[in-house]
Amino acid sequence: MGDILQVTGLYNRAPQFKFARRDSMVLSIQVEATTEEDLLKGLNHVTIVLCLQESFNSLYREMRSKDGSIGALEVRVVQQGTFDSLMEYFISRGASESQYKTPLCLNSSEALAVLENNVCARFFSDKSPPL
């Protein structure tokens, strides 16, 4: 049939399914061949960015839209354990393990590299949110 189903559980030893997507389907959008998987990834990306922008308060929106003092929204998702690696980096540079707090801002390019090397997803929007 060409449907890809995901087993979500069992009911009386019978599998329960959820529709995941069609197999080997290509969509034609503006004469560009796009797989359903690519389209769904794009929609997921847009949904995440829009939900984030809508959740910010009016001060953020004003500073982002009117005076431009806040730059474009960019979210980077890091792999599990990345912040443990960041803590290990700072401890190896002399920070006290018992006093360590995750920094709000990084000035060290080496510490920033610890985060950057573990990015598994990026979401970016330069669109200004509505006021």
Decide if 130 is inside a domain.
Answer: no
Decide if 44 is inside a domain.
Answer: yes
Decide if 78 is inside a domain.
Answer: yes
Decide if 45 is inside a domain.
Answer: yes
Q: How far apart are CA 81 and CA 60, in angstroms?
A: 30
Decide if 131 is inside a domain.
Answer: no
User: Distance between terminal CA atoms of the chain?
Assistant: 47
pLDDT tens string 97-118: 999 999 988 999 999 999 999 9
Tell me the whole-structure pTM to 2 decimals: 0.54
pLDDT tens string 72-86: 778 888 999 999 999
Q: Is 11's pLDDT higher than 70?
A: yes
Q: Is 22's pLDDT higher than 70?
A: no
Write out the two tokens for 127. 């669109």
How many domains are contained in the chain? 1
Q: Is 13's pLDDT higher than 70?
A: yes
Q: What is the DSSP letter of 96?
A: -
Decide if 88 is inside a domain.
Answer: yes
Percent of the chain past pLDDT 90, that is, above it, reads: 31
Which structural domain range is residue 59 located in? Answer: 3-125
pLDDT tens string 28-46: 565 566 777 777 788 887 8
Q: With cut-offs at 50, 70 and 90, classify the pLDDT of residue 87.
A: very high
**Alpha helices in 56-81, H assignment, sequence order:** 58-65
Decide if 19 is inside a domain.
Answer: yes
Decide if 90 is inside a domain.
Answer: yes
pLDDT in the model for residue 88: 96
